Structure 1
């Protein structure tokens, strides 16, 4: 659980997770555009989320596409939803 909480402590990672939580797959370039961050920084954030087990990735030619991990335990999903919902309710989410 510590790795998950560490992954959620960064606002860019929470914003990326929120996008992925909405469904579908997204490549780093899409996340970079939406979150106004560089490729290297976004890739590092996605690595943290992947290592925490919150997202999965797949290679598609030169792109790496990320999506919500479908195998996350229900209690972890509840924590993530609570964090993302609270952030949105407080108006703290990134664009």
Structure 2
């Protein structure tokens, strides 16, 4: 069972939240792509993704020297609803600021 507190703590960091927004499309994304889009170093991005994986939010697959991440399709509907709400609030916040 995935702990809600662990999930919310993982989403509380801006880079991790932004990574989840990218992964929200349901596709698989190389860590190199996430690094480029989020302006993060490889080591920093790997640490963030380790936390998201530890919270059960993402799954990964090794592809040669890169790791590819995607949204965890096994998330409960309730947890998915929480993540949807957090991402929607973040998008709304960004539109308000812009």
TM-score, reference length from structure 2? 0.91
Q: CA RMSD in A?
A: 0.9
Q: Which has the larger radius of gyration?
A: 2
SS at match of 2:73: coil
Deviating above 6 A after TM superposition, structure 1's stretches of 4 or more consecutive aligned residues are none
How big is the shift at 1:23? Answer: 2.0
Q: Kindly indicate whether residue 66 of structure 2 is the aligned counterpart of residue 78 of structure 1.
A: no
2:10 aligned residue? 7
Higher relative contact order (CA 8 A, sep 6+): 1
- Which of 3, 17, 37 in structure 1 is aligned with 2:40? 37
* Number of residue pairs aligned between Structure 1 and Structure 2: 92
